[in-house]
Amino acid sequence: MMPDNNPSQPSLTVRELPEMARQIRRDLMKMLLLSKSGHSGGPLGLSDIFASLYFHIMKVDPARPTMPERDYFFLSAGHLCPVWYATLARRGFLPIEELSTLRKINTRLQGHPAPAYTHGVPGIEIASGALGQGLSIAVGCAIGLRLDKKPNRVFCLMGDGELDEGQIWEAAMTAGHHKVDNLIGIVDRNFCQIDNRTDKVMELEPLPEKWAAFGWHVLECDGNDIEQFIETVGQAKALKGKPTVIIAKTFMGKGVSFMEDNYKWHGMPPNEEQAKQALSELPPTKFGDFIEFEWEKASIVAEVKA
Amino acid sequence: MMPDNNPSQPSLTVRELPEMARQIRRDLMKMLLLSKSGHSGGPLGLSDIFASLYFHIMKVDPARPTMPERDYFFLSAGHLCPVWYATLARRGFLPIEELSTLRKINTRLQGHPAPAYTHGVPGIEIASGALGQGLSIAVGCAIGLRLDKKPNRVFCLMGDGELDEGQIWEAAMTAGHHKVDNLIGIVDRNFCQIDNRTDKVMELEPLPEKWAAFGWHVLECDGNDIEQFIETVGQAKALKGKPTVIIAKTFMGKGVSFMEDNYKWHGMPPNEEQAKQALSELPPTKFGDFIEFEWEKASIVAEVKA
Amino acid sequence: MTKLVSRELKATRLGFGEMLVELGRENPNVVVLGGDVTGSVRTDLFAKEFPDRFISVGVAEQDMMCTAAGLAVAGKIPFASAYGEFATGRPFDQIRQSIAYSRVPVKICASHCGITVGPDGATHQSLEDMGIMRMLPHMTVATPCDYLETRKMIRATMSWNHPIYIRFFRDNTPVFTDDATPMTFGKANTLIEGKDVTVIACGLQVWESILAEEELAKEGISVRLLNMHTIKPIDRDAIVKAAKETGAIVTAEDHQRQGGLGGAVAEVLAETIPTPMEFVAVNDTFGESGGGAELMMKYGIAKDDVVRAVRKVLKRKKG
Amino acid sequence: MTKLVSRELKATRLGFGEMLVELGRENPNVVVLGGDVTGSVRTDLFAKEFPDRFISVGVAEQDMMCTAAGLAVAGKIPFASAYGEFATGRPFDQIRQSIAYSRVPVKICASHCGITVGPDGATHQSLEDMGIMRMLPHMTVATPCDYLETRKMIRATMSWNHPIYIRFFRDNTPVFTDDATPMTFGKANTLIEGKDVTVIACGLQVWESILAEEELAKEGISVRLLNMHTIKPIDRDAIVKAAKETGAIVTAEDHQRQGGLGGAVAEVLAETIPTPMEFVAVNDTFGESGGGAELMMKYGIAKDDVVRAVRKVLKRKKG
Ligand SMILES: Cc1ncc(C[n+]2csc(CCOP(=O)(O)OP(=O)(O)O)c2C)c(N)n1
Ligand SMILES: Cc1ncc(C[n+]2csc(CCOP(=O)(O)OP(=O)(O)O)c2C)c(N)n1
Ligand SMILES: [Mg+2]
Ligand SMILES: [Mg+2]
């Protein structure tokens, strides 16, 4: 993929995004099959949001990952990084072949994000993995940009289970207090965490009321509906005087029938059989896979023969 | 003061409490004058609440500080301990003369509360001083009591500035999730913290909405109005199905004109002149002071002579 | 001494999970706190059998530690567990004030410790946990070398009325102790007698050291091996004795070299009997993703590193 | 070497606060985070002159550290400060992941460290902060001995592009260094030459050690005194040289004996040149309320304790 000449232009149209999201899902299944460890559920659920952010919404330039005009993105819930890596690769921040190194020794695709200037991936500003820290970082970054009167926007993606961490509410309070309105928080509201559904582990509702009481504008949307998500981010950008949070309802495991809405897929990779099944539910796209397995070639041969 | 034969009986009537609260305020001024360091403002503001809790509301027995039927009290904002020490002394948990040892080497009256079974004061269950930890402890204690189907109640007093700490909101969420209704939280809403008024340091409003959104019953009252406070605790006890928080509005420095509502008195002791002025605004009570200074004797002599 | 062989591979964390259930059956006051990593730390077994005594606090480790302290105040026997870093570094001040200073006997039990947690990478590889916990007064710090020792330790906490931190691991690892192997907090366990050099190891490095000893024995080097399962209070007598009798010490741990087991041993030696020492430990660096065994080798805490360290310290040993 | 005398009493924290203002004037990217202890840590001076570049986060130290990291990502030069324990132990995991592992050059500056903070008591007396911070890879840990050295250190952080933790104190203490006294991170400063024994001190124990040297000199004991202002990276060369040339070491610090400066020195000696050592430090206990000087004596970290330790280590020194 070529670096953009004008990074403020979306690199894909809204109509093209679903296919890219599907490709990211395919990438995820292949990456996780290869790594034999890592998180399937959250990343699948977030593919639509990541495709939207990186191919349509955010100002980024893969040729200049640290360009001063960039929008800043922080993944607070670091375990979701496989979808970030796949998206960054598809967007040109790293070679797609590298996706096969996820979680392997000496990789840049660490199990949880390592920052670019240690041994991580270009486009990753800072480490995450220990939950609850990213929103504070995003708030600090947004305040720093505002001090310099810069127009850049800051996005921060959080898990819903992650909201159990009190530091999120410290950061929420700080952002509210300082009226940090160049910041958009996104909560991946998939109602799942590791042990169970969120209401079983730790009730979060009424969640919109929580954010509102901490001084935020609150928007809600279907995070698996690309048009709706993009429209909601547009609304968020127009809101002033307070930070805005988008509570994006997603399905964990979205796109793979047997993973959908099932918390047990929080942290498991598919085995070969499951990956085959998953990929069969996610038809190939024009973007092409980063790797073709032996059994895929075989099955294509089989299809041709049939 | 004699140990109660029946600790479920209030040891003072509501009518007697204001005088006890005034005595506690006198004690505070003398303790802090002697210690030359420590917190004046918060403790003065809380004297009415402490008098109410220990002399009227809570089941406690100074002769048996760890009696199984006791109500549990946790002071999350440990820096407020001078008012706790004065109250415990007045209630018979320790000799009132010991109040003159506040913050001195080898004392039990540590600058922040030490638990009874290290070198602290009877009636103090656990250490505090680092803000934000007490509510979690209170929730754990309340859950433990409930597991044993015990009727004891748990009280936890927090500062309002303390609510900046995210751990408070973790604990609030846990209590809401587990519907811990044998727990009453009290927020000392004096609108002051160290650096400034709370809205300057970190906006907390809308505070009732925050607690409600975390799954709590919310009551508000004037924390310097003893009758109102006692009535509000009565209401709190009747509420079921959720934990209850009482947002008690107090004035920092209450009872001493030049300290009232002034955040600068958060952490300062009075000097001799200030203590004299303060004591002159807090007339002596029937309970008697724990110490008489030379200059008091002199002034009594002076009065007699006049 | 019977030869130390690996009879099977089994995870230390499973020993924890199973023993919790046994203790839960024996004592109705045992309660367990859950921080949304129940399956990993194997408190799922307890949660299933005793749902009422399993208290979920969500992903909130600070809250977990203080909630545990509160449960103890109410007379319960709380076990709080999480991954190594999130059970120690994340709630450090909470442990310091509400557990250590308050001397509340909460049992902090962490799984997934050290670099061997593997593919999750640096943020999840706790390499400072023993060091930071041993700095806290009133705190006991211990780490089992295998599944069976984990079971013994967890049981022993029931009569150990102090705050305690126990560190164990994710992977299935060799079980080489047996029911008769002693485990008393604060007392190092001499697994192999020897006279030329002493290896003081803990956790998974005990097994690496057993393998190293085999190799060194072939070269005619007589290695004493201590399983220093309790890092605090550390067994000063065993260390001094080893220094006197063997004159050279190697420590081995899955932990930063600064401040951990090696640091603790160096402190004892410096004020008693200064002795040449080599440290087998992670050398002041964060970890990364990879397989547990791979990482042990890359970061210098595997069998071969113990062998090298022994050779090196023997060269330094005075005639 | 000029004689070391106390020219005046002045607080290290004031040196921090004043220098922040100077740096703020010189560099518009300097920003300061406030955690509701502004007057105590003396960031009030900066807040007054640069209200826009002073960011209040309330009483929320975890948030403070990560907000600082975010400001650094946006190109700012953030100073985050609080009391010792609340600047280190409370946000340990935040510092670990978002500052140390991420290698973000946040400057963590803590006042009210050690037992000398006095009447506030144990919860406010950080006695583990240097130890836990030095366990973190990529982290620099330093502690000034007086007001002037504090100023130098704070200025030096501007060209020190690493995460750094600087520890200073509440009380007014002797100013005995002067403008010419060198301060380079990682390089111990030899304050007094000597040949019988070396005292390696940091922070307020440097002055206590100066007093101790005076007393010992009268007995004819020649004491070398190193101001080990940087605990990490520690000056290995200076330590080895001292061990070789004087054959006996005493460390002195206002900190737990396990894991702190003493621990760091013991680790270096163990793997280089094992040498008898005595530790002047708080002995694995929490502090309590009292006056700073009173507490130094009660907890064994005052001049007399240095004197005693020197005498003791000299007895252990080999002919
Ligand atoms: C501080 C911390 N505690 C615990 C964990 C372990 N952990 C990783 S993901 C996760 C669940 C988070 O739930 P959510 O944010 O909803 O993510 P999802 O399951 O939806 O992917 C937990 C507990 C962690 N990474 N960091
Ligand atoms: C974890 C922690 N951070 C900082 C402090 C220092 N501190 C003590 S009291 C206080 C202000 C608290 O404000 P509030 O709770 O409103 O108490 P008030 O001023 O009303 O007495 C602060 C920041 C502390 N004790 N603990
Ligand atoms: Mg979720
Ligand atoms: Mg207040």
The DSSP string of C267-294 is: HHHHHH----EEEEEE-S----SS-HHH
Average confidence (pLDDT) over C49-60? 98
The yes/no answer to whether this complex scores an ipTM above 0.95 is yes
In angstroms, rounded to a whole number, what is the distance separating the alpha carbons of residues A305 and D5?
95
Rounded to a whole number, what is the distance in Å from the CA of D129 to chain C's nearest CA? 9
C198: nearest Cα among C240, C226, C219, C234 = C226
Cα(D38) to centroid(ligand 4), Å = 16
Say yes or no for a CB contact (<8 Å) between A202 and C59. Answer: yes
Q: Which helix (H) or strand (E) holds D62?
A: helix D61-73
Structure tokens at A70: 């960039």
Chain D residues touching C90 at Cβ < 8 A: 92-93
Cα(B122) to centroid(ligand 2), Å = 24
| Beta pairing partners, A247 | A187, A220
Collapsing DSSP states into helix, strand and coil, what is residue B241?
A: coil
CA distances from D307 to C273, D194, D208, D265 (A): 21, 15, 9, 19
CA-based Rg of chain C, rounded to a whole angstrom?
A: 19
Average confidence (pLDDT) over C24-30? 98
User: Any chain A CB within 8 A of the CB of B97?
Assistant: no
Q: Which residue has the tokens 């009391």?
A: D83
Instruction: Return the exposure string of A38-55: e unless at least 16 CB atoms fall within 10 Å of the residue's CB, then b.
Output: bbbbbbbbbbbbbbbbbb
Q: Which helix (H) or strand (E) holds D251?
A: strand D249-256
Residue from D32, D55, D66 whose CB has the most chain A CBs within 10 Å, to mutate: D66
Nearest-Cα residue of chain C relative to residue D259: C259
pTM: 0.98
CB D111 within 8 A of CB D42: yes
pLDDT at B118 over 90: no
Mutate to test the pocket of ligand 1, among A84, A136, A193 (most ligand atoms within 8 A of CB): A193
Which residues fall inside 5 Å of ion ligand 4, going by CB?
B 159-161, 190, 192-193
Number of H-type helices and E-type strands within chain A: 10, 5
Say yes or no for a CB contact (<8 Å) between A112 and C120. Answer: yes
Name the phi and psi angles at C31, rounded to 5: -130, 155
Count other Cβ atoms within 10 Å, centred on residue B220.
Answer: 16
Average confidence (pLDDT) over C72-77? 98
Chain A residues touching C121 at Cβ < 8 A: 103, 110-112, 114, 129
**Cβ contacts of residue A214 below 8 Å, gap of 6+?**
A169, A172, A173, A176, B210
Closest approach atom of ligand 2 to CA D90: 1
pLDDT at A297: 84
Burial grade of C272 (CB within 10 A; 0-12, 13-18, 19 or more):
middle
**A77 Cβ below 6 A of ligand 1:** yes
Q: In what order do the strands lie in the sheet with D77-83?
A: D54-56, D30-34, D77-83, D107-111, D164-167, D140-142, D230-232
Q: In percent, how much of chain C has pLDDT > 90?
A: 98
In angstroms, rounded to a whole number, what is the distance separating the alpha carbons of residues A38 and A19?
24
User: Any chain D CB within 8 A of the CB of A145?
Assistant: yes
Collapsing DSSP states into helix, strand and coil, what is residue D156?
A: helix
pLDDT at B306: 52
Say yes or no for a CB contact (<8 Å) between B105 and D290. Answer: yes
pLDDT at C25 over 80: yes
Rounded to a whole number, what is the distance in Å from the CA of C38 to chain B's nearest CA? 17
pLDDT at C175: 98
Task: State the chains in contact with A (3 or more Cβ–Cβ pairs under 8 Å).
Answer: B, C, D
First to last CA, chain A: 35
In angstroms, rounded to a whole number, what is the distance separating the alpha carbons of residues C243 and C317?
11
Chain D residues touching A170 at Cβ < 8 A: 57-58, 60, 62-63
pLDDT at D2: 61
CB A103 within 8 A of CB A111: yes
Residue from D130, D271, D272, D314 whose CB has the most chain C CBs within 10 Å, to mutate: D271
Which among A129, A162, A200 has the least Cβ separation from residue C121? A129
pLDDT at B2: 41
Task: State the chains in contact with D (3 or more Cβ–Cβ pairs under 8 Å).
Answer: A, B, C
B7 versus C64: which is more confidently predicted? C64
pLDDT at B4: 46
DSSP percent split of chain C into helix, strand, coil, nearest 5: 45, 20, 35
Which among B127, B166, B174 has the least Cβ separation from residue C67? B174
**B40 Cβ below 6 A of ligand 2:** no
Say yes or no for a CB contact (<8 Å) between B201 and D56. Answer: yes
pLDDT per residue, tens digit, chain D (319 aa), is 567 999 999 999 999 999 999 999 999 999 999 999 999 999 999 999 999 999 999 999 999 999 999 999 999 999 999 999 999 999 999 999 999 999 999 999 999 999 999 999 999 999 999 999 999 999 999 999 999 999 999 999 999 999 999 999 999 999 999 999 999 999 999 999 999 999 999 999 999 999 999 999 999 999 999 999 999 999 999 999 999 999 999 999 999 999 999 999 999 999 999 999 999 999 999 999 999 999 999 999 999 999 999 999 999 997 5
C161: nearest Cα among B117, B74, D122, B140 = B117
Residue-wise pLDDT tens digits, B59-82: 999 999 999 999 999 999 999 999
Mark the ranges of chain A whose per-residue pLDDT is less than 70.
1-9, 299-306
User: Any chain A CB within 8 A of the CB of B177?
Assistant: yes
Chain D residues touching A133 at Cβ < 8 A: 62, 66, 93-94, 97-98
**Average pLDDT of the residues of chain B:** 95
**What pLDDT band is residue B258 in, cutting at 50, 70 and 90?**
very high
C242: nearest Cα among C207, C281, C192, C206 = C192
pLDDT at A4: 47
User: Active-site residue numbers of D?
Assistant: 61
Which among B35, B130, B201 has the least Cβ separation from residue D58? B201
Say yes or no for a CB contact (<8 Å) between D36 and B194. Answer: yes
Residue-wise pLDDT tens digits, D84-110: 999 999 999 999 999 999 999 999 999
Residue-wise pLDDT tens digits, D182-206: 999 999 999 999 999 999 999 999 9
**B22 Cβ below 6 A of ligand 2:** no
Structure tokens at C130: 């023993």
